[in-house]
Amino acid sequence: MPNSSEGQNISPHCEPEIRTVAGAVRGRWEGDVAVFRGIPYAEPPFGAHRFQAPVPVGRWDGVRDALEFGPPVPQARHAGSVMSAACGSTDDGSDDCLTLNVWSPDLGAAALPVMVWIQGGTYLENNSASPHCDGATLARSGVVMVSMNYRVGMEGFAHITGAPDNRGILDQIAALRWVRDNIAAFGGDPDNVTVFGQSAGGACIAALLVMPTAAGLFRRAISQSMPGTYFSERLAATISATIAARATIGELDRLPPRALTDAADAVIQRMPEYVESWGPMALTPTPFSPIVDGDLLPDAPWRALARGAARDIDLLVGHTRDEYRLYTSRPGGAPTDARMSAAFTHLTPTTDTESDYATVYPAATPGQLYDLVNTDWLFRMPSLHLADAAYTGGGPIWLYELCWSFNEEQGASHCLDFLLIFGTLSPDEVRGHRSAHPNAAHETSHVAHRMRTDWVSFATTGQPGWAPYDPHTRTTRVYNAEPTTQPYPEEGSRRIWATHGFGILDLPHAH
């Protein structure tokens, strides 16, 4: 394992070169941060490797430039030639898409804490080149920051006979192994790794906590706004077969990725029509989720954590206040009467929940109640119940909620938290929003600094700066313009969902 700067070119006055296990890479200094982009951690997932577990990247001779982000994995609206090629290499190199990126403030033997970002995107999108996930600001806070591309959609999360499930998460594990074997040469401490992710990335982290193949690869975890959807193999197989039937009759591995993304898009447009046969997942924005196969992913995270899995991992978990507003505030996102009725019929824990919500939130409009139900079922309550499960299992757990927002339309919506932590929501963007609060631009920088400081403190020491969570006091860090520590704010919703058990989603009529 490379573990020192001996024989490596790390001067801040020239292009830094680092020797990894597979070969040397050349990055660049961007101000006071060394950045290495597009380092391959696995072989291209095509040809013989398609729909298979990732294969560690082979060795190369000489020095490989790591100056540009790697090409994105197959996904909708990706125009690379890989989208039209079922196998083999492509002329623009877009088959070499399993890459990662490193930002480091110190390439010496600094043994800095390492933060590995797992991006969200509804299990449909993943591109580490997104400017919203630039790791420079976090690196300047005293950590080595790593991000990655991993497979999504049919390539990464469909159930395919003869192929391992959860291939996208297996990619994440392969990237974490690369971190273990190489990060010391970039100034990081391989024994002090924190995984953090949001939305689908947060749910992947909850899965990683209980996956035997991920054991020992990280010391701490931060799960932000995790959706509570984990599929049975039976449900995943039914959904995947429906998508595949729209693509062709024949072997999936002979289809170009574009055929599969187009087929998935066609099914997504009609997903609410499948609610009676697929259950509540049909009312979500995506047909994919981690699959509980009993092997790679032995059980749903709540049950496994409650039994003591990952009790040696420090865990920080939380959500935003107005999660689902991201979707309903978009043009055309306002719910119809039919969508509101379906939400209360299929998403709520009991048949009386609609009246329970009306009682707890008497001033809410029907549209606001729809927002609340989706927010609670998909994001807030799965996160809270994960904290309860971790506590039951004996693990150290901290809870947070982001309540601050800069505009009235979206509120503290899904995705706002990671923009603040990365520092990629600029004051100018905030000022330019049509419903921005008068002091929002100043508050943005302040709230972002406080959250980022707490995240870095947690990654460094395991202590984010407030008391651990327990189900009796429900101590929660609440991020407003000035952060406070108080009992969990969403008590009304908590009571409604108190007896609900999050677990494995299956076909509604399966026996």
Tokens linked to 119: 């991006």
Residue 426 annotated among the catalytic residues of the structure:
no
Tokens linked to 258: 């574009």
Amino acid in the structure at residue 172 = Q
Amino acid in the structure at residue 120 = G
For residues 58-73, one letter each, b for 16 or more C-beta atoms within 10 angstroms of the residue's C-beta and e for the rest, the string is eeeeeebebeebbbbb
Tokens linked to 456: 């870095």
Any residues with CB less than 8 A from the CB of 121 and at least 6 apart, and which? Answer: 152, 199, 200, 201
Closest CA to 186 of 462, 1, 459, 421: 1
**Which of 125, 414, 443, 490 is labelled catalytic?**
414
Residue 232 annotated among the catalytic residues of the structure:
no
Closest CA to 36 of 70, 7, 13: 70
Report the Cα 36 to chain-centroid distance in Å.
22
**Which of 94, 141, 147, 199 is labelled catalytic?**
199
Any residues with CB less than 8 A from the CB of 382 and at least 6 apart, and which? Answer: 226, 227, 228, 302, 502
Helix, strand, or coil here: 170?
helix
φ and ψ at 344, to 5 degrees? -70, -25
For the beta carbon of residue 131, count every other beta carbon within 10 angstroms: 7
Residue 30 annotated among the catalytic residues of the structure:
no
Closest CA to 46 of 240, 257, 246: 257
Any residues with CB less than 8 A from the CB of 320 and at least 6 apart, and which? Answer: 225, 379, 401, 402, 403, 412, 413, 414, 416, 417
**Which of 43, 323, 354, 443 is labelled catalytic?**
323
DSSP count for the chain of H helices, then E strands:
17, 16
φ and ψ at 407, to 5 degrees? -150, 155
Checking DSSP bridges between strand 475-479 and strand 397-402, what pairing results, if any? parallel
What is the torsional sign of CA 224, 291, 149, 72?
A: negative
Enumerate the H helices of 163-253 as residue ranges.
167-182, 200-210, 233-247
- Residue 491 and residue 22: Cα distance in Å, rounded? 51
- Residue 35 and residue 28: Cα distance in Å, rounded? 6
DSSP state, 436?
Answer: B
Helix, strand, or coil here: 155?
helix
Active site residues: 199, 323, 414
